[in-house]
């Protein structure tokens, strides 16, 4: 059976350096340029690399001009230049200044992002923190319960950068207290007296937080979403992260503070 002469994978007999040899096959051209047959065909299809003439036997024959253009294409691709700009840059090298400047700006942004990620990875390793915490929270990871850490991850999607920074600073200054550990260890079936007693001890702690970090009473000021969406997201998340007993203690502590404020408002100035 005769071979399909239209295929460009076939090589003309003999190596490309054979004396008198003036052309390369597609496969040989791809190997010389350090690329693949598929890539060469793609450059043909998008008009970056002209189709070569064919020999009498039907095989494509590439010359030095094709090789040089392919090498130039590969060089610009390696630099990150979009294919749509490469043809113009090869035909008129002076036209690529704007593209190179834009590329330099993009690379600067990428380098800064990668450096930030590298610093974050180093901090996670140093503090033995979970890798799924929001950026910057690895240093305070040990001061939060598993539920608190999960809540911070949700917060990172509804608070702006300043809000998350304030949250991180607050957690770092507060540290982990015995009350935090007691609330975390509270059994789901804790009785009424246990819940009330913990709530009464928790209320002054909650009051201190609100006094030192007044923004927590109006967190919507640092929101990246609407107040209604933020509130619904936080409530739904807390209902799934914390037990009924834990939520009850928090609600009781908040009610105790509310009652105290009402009494203070009734007192004479």
| The Cα angle at residue 79 between residues 73 and 81, in degrees rounded to 5 | 65
pTM: 0.61
The conformational region for residue 21 under phi > 0 = left, psi -120 to 50 = alpha, else beta, is beta
| Numbered ranges of CATH 1.10.1660.10 in the chain | 26-91
pLDDT of residue 219: 73
Percentages helix, strand, coil for the chain (3-state, rounded to 5) are: 70, 0, 30
Positions in the chain whose pLDDT score sits under 50: 1-7, 9-20, 268-269
CA dihedral 32, 36, 39, 40 (to 10 degrees): 40
**Cα dist from 154 to 1, 158, 241, whole Å:** 67, 7, 11
Q: Which two tokens stand for residue 57?
A: 């036997």
Query: Which among 66, 51, 64 has a CA at the least distance from the CA of 8?
Result: 51
pLDDT of residue 1: 41
14-25 pLDDT, tens digit per residue, is 444 444 456 899
pLDDT of residue 266: 56
pLDDT of residue 112: 95
Q: 171 CB contacts (<8 Å, ≥6 apart)?
A: 137, 140, 143, 144
pLDDT of residue 4: 41
pLDDT of residue 2: 40
Class of domain 26-91: mainly alpha
52-70 pLDDT, tens digit per residue, is 888 777 778 899 999 999 9
Number of H helices, E strands in the chain: 11, 0
pLDDT of residue 19: 43
């Amino acid at each position: 059976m005769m071979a399909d002469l239209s295929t460009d994978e076939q090589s003309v007999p003999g190596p490309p350096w054979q004396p008198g040899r003036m052309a390369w096959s597609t496969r040989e051209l791809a190997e010389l340029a350090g690329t693949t047959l598929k890539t060469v065909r793609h450059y043909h299809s998008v008009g970056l690399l002209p189709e070569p003439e064919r020999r009498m036997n039907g095989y494509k024959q590439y010359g030095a001009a094709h090789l040089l253009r392919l090498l130039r294409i590969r060089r610009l691709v390696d630099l990150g230049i979009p294919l749509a700009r490469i043809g113009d840059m090869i035909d008129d090298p002076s036209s690529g200044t704007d593209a190179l400047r834009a590329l330099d700006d993009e690379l600067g942004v990428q380098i800064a992002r990668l450096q930030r990620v590298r610093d974050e990875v180093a901090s996670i390793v140093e503090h033995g923190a979970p890798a799924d915490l929001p950026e910057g929270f690895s240093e305070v990871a040990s001061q939060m319960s598993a539920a608190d850490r999960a809540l911070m991850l949700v917060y990172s999607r509804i608070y702006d950068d300043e809000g998350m920074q304030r949250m991180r600073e607050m957690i770092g200054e507060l540290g982990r207290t015995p009350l935090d550990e007691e609330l975390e260890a509270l059994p789901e079936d804790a009785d009424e007296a246990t819940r009330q007693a913990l709530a009464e001890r928790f209320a002054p702690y909650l009051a201190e937080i609100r006094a030192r970090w007044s923004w927590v009473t109006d967190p919507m000021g640092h929101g990246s979403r609407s107040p209604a969406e933020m509130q619904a997201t936080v409530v739904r998340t807390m209902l799934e992260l914390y037990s009924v007993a834990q939520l009850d203690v928090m609600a009781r502590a908040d009610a105790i503070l509310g009652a105290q404020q009402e009494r203070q408002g009734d007192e004479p100035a």
